Chain A
Amino acid sequence: MNIGDTLESKTLAVSQEFINDYADICGDYNTLHVDVEGMKDHPIFGGTIAHGTINVEPVLQAICTAQGTTWPNAGTVIDLQFRAPVKPGMTISSDLKVKEKQGNNLVCDMQVVDQNGGPCVRGTVKL
């Protein structure tokens, strides 16, 4: 890959059922994620939000596809900031673009955006 190339984008549709299933696997039942009634009047979110780790999932899948592996190669580093919560009903996609080469490694600008292009996660990935 060369500078300016983009990695294949990965997409995830997030529903409340999806969030509940995720909670059942990881055991994180924080009310922020699963209490649909209780979160309706939340002053900031006005409803439930996905576990932040769900926001990162498309990036993880995009890295594996780009490397042709099922687990990122040793030494792969993701440095990310959470920008906005992901809510049920959103569809999120990864967007990675090679910005520089460092020896044998590629450094990508990375973001995860919602269906309207709004950033949920931003950062860099060293492949």
Chain B
Amino acid sequence: MEQKFNTDLITQFGPDKMLPELKFAEMEPGWDCGGGTYKITQAEVEKFAKLMGDSNTGSENVPVGMIYIFGLRLCWDRQVFIDQAVRAGDKITFHKPAKVGDTITTKLSVADKKEVTKERDGKVKVTKFLYINMETLNQDGDKITDIVMSFMLPKTMQ
């Protein structure tokens, strides 16, 4: 498909070393995955509201579903979505509303990890989980959302 995303809206930052280059043992809480800044324009808000049938147009707050828009592209560009990893869930905490015209900053980092061991039919199965914090702030440094994304990592992960 033709890609119409306006890449001028987003500016990235972060270390050269990306998450997939790490072994599981090296994925320590606090590890910086980088992030980016994103300008929320009236045009983007209108497109989103129209798509979702959101009746809150005219509000200075952006449509709430845009909380994810702030980070999805970044998660790919900063390689937070590891190949074959399965998105297991999210824990979203809301703070201040994002407003039309805000320039927001999203920071990605390792929040936690765990290994879950299950025994079934005499076989021990270990599943690795990784938790990534996606913290979003406005231009005044006020928090907008914290989203902790959980991933079930592929069996091949060392």
Chain A contact residues, CB within 8 Å of chain B = 12, 18, 20-30, 34, 51-53, 56-57, 60-61, 63-64, 70-82, 123
Contacts and interface: CB of A to CB of B under 8 A. Distances in A.
A30 B65 CA distance: 19
B96 interface: yes
Contact of B72 (A26, A60, A80): A26
Given A74-B96, A77-B93, A80-B89, 12 more contacts: A21-B51, A23-B1, A25-B51, A26-B72, A28-B72, A53-B65, A53-B72, A61-B54, A64-B56, A70-B63, A78-B92, A80-B91
B92 to A, nearest CB: 4
B4 interface: yes
Nearest to B3: A29
Interface string B82-95: 00000111111111
Interface string B47-76: 110011110100101011101110011011
A30 B76 contact: yes
A81 B71 CA distance: 18
Question: Which of B5, B87, B89 has the largest count of A CB atoms less than 10 A from its CB?
Answer: B89
Contacts of B69: 25-26
Contacts of B53: 12
A17 B100 CA distance: 25
Nearest to B54: A61
B94 A57 contact: no
B103 to A, nearest CB: 17
A65 to B, nearest CB: 10
Contact of A76 (B4, B47, B94): B94
A23 B95 CA distance: 26
A60 B4 contact: no
Contacts of B52: 12, 57, 61
A71 B61 CA distance: 7
A23 B5 contact: yes
Contacts of B94: 71-77
B57 to A, nearest CB: 10
7 tightest Cβ-Cβ pairs between the two chains A and B: A27-B73, A71-B97, A27-B5, A53-B68, A81-B89, A28-B72, A24-B4
